[in-house]
Each structure stands twice: as C-alpha cells, then as structure tokens.
Chain A
Amino acid sequence: MKSAERTKASSILNAAATMSTDSDDLERLRLLLLGSDYIGLLALKNQLQDVNLYTARVASVLAEAIQMRSHSDNAITQALAPNMDKAVEHFINRDPQLVANALYPVMGPAIRKSIHETLTQTLETFNQLLEQSLSPRSIRWRFDAWRTGRKYSEVVLMKTLVYQVEQVFLIHRKTSLLLQHVVSEQAIAKDPDMVSSMLSAIQDFMADSFTNESSLNALRLGDLSVLIEQGPYVAIAAVVRGAPPAELRSLLIQTVETIHQRYDGLLKNYSGDSQPFSTTQPLLNQCLQAQRQTSQTQRKKPWLAYGLLGLLLAGLGYWAYSNYAEQQRLLAKQRLWEQTVAQWDAQPGVVILDSQPTEQGYQVKGLRDPLVADTAITLDDQVRTTFNPVFEWQPYVSAEPSLALQRAQQLLQPPAGVELNLEGSTLKVSGSADSAWITRLEQGWHYSLGLEGLDTSQLIRQDIETPLTQTINTIKNTVFLFERGKSELSELGSIQVPVLAENLKRLEQLAAEQQLSVQVTLMGNTDGSGAEDFNRQLGLARAQGLVDQLLNFGVSKALLVIAIAANTSPIATSEGQRSVTLKVDLQALDPQTSS
C-alpha cells in the first residue's frame, strides 16, 4: 500500500470515529462503505452550493462555452441581444462623451467618405446642369417642359440618359478574382476574369504609387468610363458608354451594400469558388437594365464651338472694320490737311515749303510776305483742333499784283482824294494832289516791287495858295456887269479891265512856268428877257467887247475864248445875269505838244 492511500484511509477512520450521535452512525457507515469517493462527492456538493466556488468554476470555462455554442446555433446572440441593447443604452446614458470618443475613429472616416460621395455627386450634377443650361437644346427642353406641363428637371433627366451600362463586374477585393459578371446584349465582353484582375491591379498600383488611402473610383477611356464602387469585401465595376449620371453611382453603392448584407458569410470565407455568387446576377442585371437607354444618343452639335467661332469672326470683322474706318479717317484727315495747306499756299504772299506731322501736331515751314497779316492765314477751329499747326515763317517779298498795290500804298501813302489802282503791272493814280506828293510819286514809284509803269493822266496837280491858284481865283472872281440890252462896258467895268489884263498876263506866265497850258473862257451872259437870238448876239457882243478891251491891254489872244451861256433862264432877271464872267481851264502840257 502506498503511503498516500494509507494516509487517506486513516483520515477516513478518524472522521468516522469522531461522529458521536446515532445519525452520525449512518454517516459513518457511508464513509466506511464509499471511502474516498464519498469525500470527493461531498467536495463537489460543497462546490455547487458555495456561490464563490461555483462562480470561479464557471468563469474558467465561460468563454469556451460561448464559443462552442456560437458554432452550433444563434441562441446566445438571441439571448444576449436584449441585454446588450439595455447595456448599451445604459452605457450611453451614463457617459455620452465616452461613446463619442470611442466612435470617433470610426465616424471620422465614415463621415468624410459620405461627404466626399455627396460632393462628388453634386459636382457631377452641377457639371451636367451647367453644360445643359446654355445650349439651344436646353431651351428646347424648357419649351417641352412648358408644353407638357412637366418639371424641367424631369424633362432633362429623361432626355439626358444618353449612356449605356455595358458590363458590370463583381470583384472579390482581396483576391481580385471575379465573382460574377453581367454584360448587356449589345456589348462585347473580353475575358472578364482578366479585366477583373487587371482592374484590381490598377487600383493597387494607383494606391501604392500615390500613397493615397482613398481608392480609384473611375477610369475613363474616350467615351467609355469605368465606375468603381468599393465595399469591404467586394467591389463593383460598371463599364459605361457615354456620360453616366450621378444616379448610377448611387445605384452601384446600393448594390454593393445589398451584396454585403446577403452574402456576408460567403464573402468572408471565399476560397475561389464563384458558384454561390451566381445568385447575384439579378442584382447586377438591375444595374445593367435599370439604366438602359431608350432614346438614341445624338451627336451633340458643338454649339459652344460655333458660338466661339462666331464671336471670333465678329471680333475679326469688328477689327477689320475699325481698321478700315481708322484708315479712312486718317485718309480724310490727310486730305483735309492737304487741302488746307493748298489753300494757304494759294494765298498771295505765302509759299508753303514743307509740312511735317510731329508729336504735338503739324509743323509748317514756309515763306511769308510781311504784308500778309497773321489773320490772313485761315485757321478755323476744325483745322486748329485736328492738326494743331505750328508755323515757321521765313520773310520774303512777293511779286503778286495784289500785294504790289498794297506795297505801293504803304510806300507812297497817297493823300486823301488820290486813288491808286493797278492795271496789269501799271500803277494808275487818279484824283488831285499837291505837287510835293506828285514829285514823291514820280520819284519813288519804281522802288515799289511789282510795278512796271505809272499812269498819272487822271491826276490833277492842285497846290493850295500858290501864286497860280491865287491868280486864277482872282480872275474867276472878276465879273463885268452890263445894263439891260447894252454891250458897252460900264464905268466900273472900264476900271476893272486893266487889272484883269495884268492878272491874265500873270496867269499865262505862271502856267508857262509850271508847264501847264491855260485857257480863259469869257462867258457872255444875258437876262431872260428878249428874244433868244438877240440874247445870244448880245452875249457874244458883251464878251467880244471885253476881249477887244483886253487885247488892247496886251493880253495874248490865244489865251482868250468867247462863249455864251447855254440855257439862260427867262425868269432870272437879276443884274448878275447881264454880265461877262470868266472861267479858267488849266491842263498839264502834253509833253509832245510842249516840245
């Protein structure tokens, strides 16, 4: 017998010996009969009854028990669910901040992703609207909306679904293997297995190359685009021809979510067998069919491009026109300038040598006769503002006739009563002037440029209070009066005769000195009474009588001429009418006759 067993047996005997009462006898018997097994049973019983011991025992196997039961059925989950709900509720009520903190790392990316998706969709929609809002097509659609009483957005949606989802791939993300693939009737699909793997490889490549946490969600090749939507286990890739609307992406997201819900277990344990996923076909077909296009895709006319081209042409036209107009304006300005310069040049006493445009205006160089006044250069407001001409004159002397006369006027300064005229290049002087001026004229006229001759035939030399004029006046003032019907000189007349004779002789002498021819006319006058014939005879007789008397006193006969008054008025009967009056005519001697 081993020592351990010996000890055990002795302890049993000891225990039996200590039991004193009758009831203890039965117990002692049990102990003796069952031995160590009984003690073990007692210990087990004690373990079950003692709460602390039992708890410790269960705790040691609890986790394993739950694990084992979970494998067989869902009972534990169902049993725990209500308690979990209450526990979570209690937990949240107790300290919401704690929950917020716990959820933060999860919520952040989730919210970011959600916002990003929403923004992307909005942007796509906005893009579409922008593209459509300015085209003639959109105007037509607005008209359609108005005509049919529908919302404009509905019409746009109906008309803009110009795309075709050609293929949809359901891809297992981890292995990049194709789970399911659907293709539209018209489209041609090439080796979807390869496409699936390659799409994943591209995704990985992009993510690795740009170390970006977010994943590739669209590829574009011409009018073909691949929209990719990722879930934790699967990704959906839709190959779309045309412009996919934002709604398509929503549909893809929904499909990914639905597939995750329904195939959760299968996806987790996927090991290359795609057969179970054939039931996803209807879901994928929905992506294919729900968005299938009914109306034909129309090739958009590039209105924007036309518009731009039109604008460009209009711009070009405007540029050409303004260029042309500018040239015309410059030409007109040039013509006006040339006209103006020609006008100036045509003006007597002005010669334009050169005209140059400068920064400030036009510079004009030329010759100008000092006789031409500044104001004579016509410079109206238009010319002044347009050209702002600056003149640079050199003085010169012009031989123009109009200036020759002006110059002669300035040089000779004729007194009042003398008029200068130009006939060809001959200066004609008329009127009366004193001898001093006439002398100056005769000596100075040829200094005035442009004159080739002088004509003074109409100029009368008239000196004031010279002996000649005094004599002439005395003679003119001498009157001989006669009695009615008689031709003999009166007594007074006889006294006057010698004085007159002396004056006449002086006159003749003075005239000769001044190279003037002189003639004195004796007018025999009668009053109006009597016959006309008699009167004429009487007038002649009276004048002849006086002439005879004067001849007696030695007056030159050539000097005297007899005349009678022409129309003697019959009414005038005053004494003055019965007279002889004297008239003196002076004339410059003809140079030829004088010689």
Chain B
Amino acid sequence: MIQKKICLLGAFAVGKTSLIKRYVSSLYSDKYHTTVGVKIDKKLVSVGDKALTLMIWDVAGEDDYTTLKPTYIRGAGGCIIVVDTTRPNTFEVALMLHGRVKEHAGDIPVLFALNKCDLKEKWLLEDKHLNQLAAFQLPIIKTSAKDGLGVDAMFQALAERMIEV
C-alpha cells in the first residue's frame, strides 16, 4: 500500500472543498462553507495493479488575509491547483500558488483544475489565460463539482502521475 499526500490549493471559494466532497462522498451542496486551516480526507484509488491511498489536504483558500502556510504543502506528493472559471482573478492566484508549490514542495506533479464549468454562461477566462497555463506543460482539466464533470478523472490523473515519478 502506497500513501500519498496531495493538496488542493486555490483562491478563496473556487470550490476545493466541493471537489473533494464530490470525489470522496459523491455529494454536492450549494451551501458555502469556508475552510479554516485545513481539512483532511482520504480516498483509495488503484493505478494499474497498484493500490494507492490519497490523503487529500483541503487547504484554506488564499485571499488577501489568509496566505498559504508552507507547512501544509511540505511533503505533498502531488498538488491540484483550482481556478474558478467565473473569476479571472483566481487565475492570478493559481499562478502564484504554483510558484509557491515549486518553492516549498519541489518538483512534484501538479495539475490545474478549471472548476465551475457548469456555469458556462459565466465563463470569463480568456484564451491568453489558457495559453499561459499551457506553457507550463501541465495537465489542465475542466471540472464541475456540481455535476461531477472531470472530478474522478482529475484525481486519477494526478494519482497516475505520482506513481510514474
């Protein structure tokens, strides 16, 4: 049994907790709960013939008042950086967080989640944003915690990349 610590990072209210809840318990709620500090969940996945335990750290959202604590991402085996497609400023935060991850956790598998894809009419990301992301040559996955789009695939992709490393 291999265990891996993964972190979900992103600006405040991008849907990190909702993504984890959808993934771990297949539930979704419209209600917003702000995460204080950190919340931890566990999920078993299998990659090929290997069983993998994901310890999923739901780290409190980044905003002007709460900055990411390096201790939370230290020792992470992988990282998902979540962007809210309806709020372009969350993209800037994501870029900054990516830098922080590289600084504190080293060269670990990272992927970007473009969340809230169900709200197509509110989509505000532009092509330049997507090009910028593509430049990192990291997986970019469109997700929706509300209807479950891409959620399982996203965690599975990260798990696979972590096993490869």
> Does the CB pair A176–B55 fall under 8 Å?
yes
A25 beta carbon closer than 8 Å to chain B: no
Interface residues of B, dominant DSSP: strand
How distant is the Cα of A308 from the Cα of B57 in the complex, in angstroms?
Answer: 50
Chain B residue numbers with a CB within 8 Å of A177 are 3-5, 55, 75
> Does the CB pair A207–B77 fall under 8 Å?
no
> Does the CB pair B77–A205 fall under 8 Å?
no
> Does the CB pair B37–A193 fall under 8 Å?
no
Q: Mark B1-42, 1 if CB is under 8 A from A, else 0.
A: 111110000000000000000000000000000000110111
Out of B3, B74, B162, name the residue touching A193 (CB < 8 Å).
Answer: B3
> Does the CB pair A201–B72 fall under 8 Å?
yes
> Does the CB pair A273–B2 fall under 8 Å?
yes
A274 beta carbon closer than 8 Å to chain B: yes
> Does the CB pair A174–B38 fall under 8 Å?
no
Q: Which of A122-180 contact B (CB under 8 A)?
A: 172-178
> Does the CB pair A197–B72 fall under 8 Å?
no
A332 beta carbon closer than 8 Å to chain B: no
Question: What's the minimum C-beta distance from A181 to chain B, rounded to whole angstroms?
Answer: 12
Chain B residue numbers with a CB within 8 Å of A197 are 5, 40, 42, 55, 57
> Does the CB pair B38–A193 fall under 8 Å?
no
Q: Which of A163-217 contact B (CB under 8 A)?
A: 172-178, 191, 193-194, 197-198, 201, 204-205, 207-208
> Does the CB pair A272–B3 fall under 8 Å?
yes
> Does the CB pair B76–A175 fall under 8 Å?
yes
Out of B5, B40, B41, B42, name the residue touching A175 (CB < 8 Å).
Answer: B5
- A176-B5, A177-B5, A205-B37 are known contacts. Are A193 and B53 too (CB-CB below 8 A)? yes
CB < 8 Å A-B pair total: 64
Out of A172, A191, A208, A272, name the residue touching B69 (CB < 8 Å).
Answer: A208
- A191-B42, A197-B55 are known contacts. Are A175 and B37 too (CB-CB below 8 A)? no
Chain B residue numbers with a CB within 8 Å of A272 are 2-4, 52, 77, 162
B71 beta carbon closer than 8 Å to chain A: yes
Chain A residue numbers with a CB within 8 Å of B1 are 273-275
Chain A residue numbers with a CB within 8 Å of B69 are 204-205, 208
Chain A residue numbers with a CB within 8 Å of B38 are 201, 204-205
Q: Across the two chains, which residue of chain A brings its CB closest to B77? A: A272
- A191-B42, A208-B69 are known contacts. Are A201 and B3 too (CB-CB below 8 A)? no
How distant is the Cα of A204 from the Cα of B40 in the complex, in angstroms?
Answer: 13
Chain B residue numbers with a CB within 8 Å of A201 are 37-38, 40, 57, 72
How distant is the Cα of A172 from the Cα of B5 in the complex, in angstroms?
Answer: 11
Question: What's the minimum C-beta distance from B34 to chain A, rounded to whole angstroms?
Answer: 16
How distant is the Cα of A101 from the Cα of B112 in the complex, in angstroms?
Answer: 49
Q: Which of B67-104 contact A (CB under 8 A)?
A: 69, 71-72, 74-77
> Does the CB pair B55–A204 fall under 8 Å?
no
Q: Mark B44-74, 1 if CB is under 8 A from A, else 0.
A: 0000000011010100000000000101101
Question: What's the minimum C-beta distance from B72 to chain A, rounded to whole angstroms?
Answer: 6
Q: Mark B123-159, 1 if CB is under 8 A from A, else 0.
A: 0000000000000000000000000000000000000
How distant is the Cα of A204 from the Cα of B72 in the complex, in angstroms?
Answer: 7
Question: What's the minimum C-beta distance from B130 to chain A, rounded to whole angstroms?
Answer: 32
> Does the CB pair A175–B77 fall under 8 Å?
yes
Q: Across the two chains, which residue of chain B brings its CB closest to A178? A: B3
Q: Across the two chains, which residue of chain A brings its CB closest to B1? A: A274
Chain A residue numbers with a CB within 8 Å of B75 are 172-177
> Does the CB pair A207–B3 fall under 8 Å?
no
> Does the CB pair A193–B42 fall under 8 Å?
yes
Question: What's the minimum C-beta distance from A121 to chain B, rounded to whole angstroms?
Answer: 28
Chain B residue numbers with a CB within 8 Å of A204 are 38, 69, 71-72
Interface centre among A191, A197, A207 (most CB of B within 10 A): A197
How distant is the Cα of A176 from the Cα of B42 in the complex, in angstroms?
Answer: 13
Chain B residue numbers with a CB within 8 Å of A173 are 75
Chain B residue numbers with a CB within 8 Å of A275 are 1
> Does the CB pair A208–B71 fall under 8 Å?
yes
How distant is the Cα of A175 from the Cα of B76 in the complex, in angstroms?
Answer: 6
Chain A residue numbers with a CB within 8 Å of B77 are 175, 271-272
> Does the CB pair B3–A194 fall under 8 Å?
no
How distant is the Cα of A172 from the Cα of B53 in the complex, in angstroms?
Answer: 15
Chain A residue numbers with a CB within 8 Å of B41 are 194
Question: What's the minimum C-beta distance from B54 to chain A, rounded to whole angstroms?
Answer: 10
Interface centre among A174, A193, A272, A273 (most CB of B within 10 A): A272
Chain A residue numbers with a CB within 8 Å of B74 are 174
Question: What's the minimum C-beta distance from A211 to chain B, rounded to whole angstroms?
Answer: 11
> Does the CB pair B71–A193 fall under 8 Å?
no
How distant is the Cα of A197 from the Cα of B58 in the complex, in angstroms?
Answer: 12
Chain A residue numbers with a CB within 8 Å of B37 are 201, 205
Q: Across the two chains, which residue of chain A brings its CB closest to B40? A: A197
How distant is the Cα of A177 from the Cα of B3 in the complex, in angstroms?
Answer: 7
How distant is the Cα of A195 from the Cα of B76 in the complex, in angstroms?
Answer: 17
Question: What's the minimum C-beta distance from A168 to chain B, rounded to whole angstroms?
Answer: 18
Chain A residue numbers with a CB within 8 Å of B57 are 197, 201
How distant is the Cα of A205 from the Cα of B38 in the complex, in angstroms?
Answer: 8
How distant is the Cα of A193 from the Cα of B35 in the complex, in angstroms?
Answer: 21
- A174-B75, A204-B69 are known contacts. Are A274 and B3 too (CB-CB below 8 A)? yes
Q: Which of A387-431 contact B (CB under 8 A)?
A: none
Out of B2, B4, B42, B76, name the residue touching A194 (CB < 8 Å).
Answer: B42
How distant is the Cα of A201 from the Cα of B69 in the complex, in angstroms?
Answer: 11
How distant is the Cα of A205 from the Cα of B162 in the complex, in angstroms?
Answer: 26
How distant is the Cα of A275 from the Cα of B41 in the complex, in angstroms?
Answer: 22
Pull 28 A–B residue pairs with CB atoms less than 8 Å apart, ordered by A: A174-B75, A175-B75, A175-B77, A176-B5, A177-B5, A193-B3, A193-B42, A193-B53, A194-B40, A197-B5, A197-B40, A197-B57, A201-B37, A201-B40, A201-B72, A204-B69, A204-B71, A204-B72, A205-B69, A208-B69, A208-B71, A271-B77, A272-B3, A272-B4, A272-B52, A273-B1, A274-B2, A275-B1
Q: A194-B42, A208-B69, A273-B3 are in contact. List 10 more A-B contacts (CB 8 A).
A: A174-B75, A175-B5, A176-B55, A177-B3, A177-B75, A193-B42, A204-B69, A205-B38, A271-B2, A274-B3
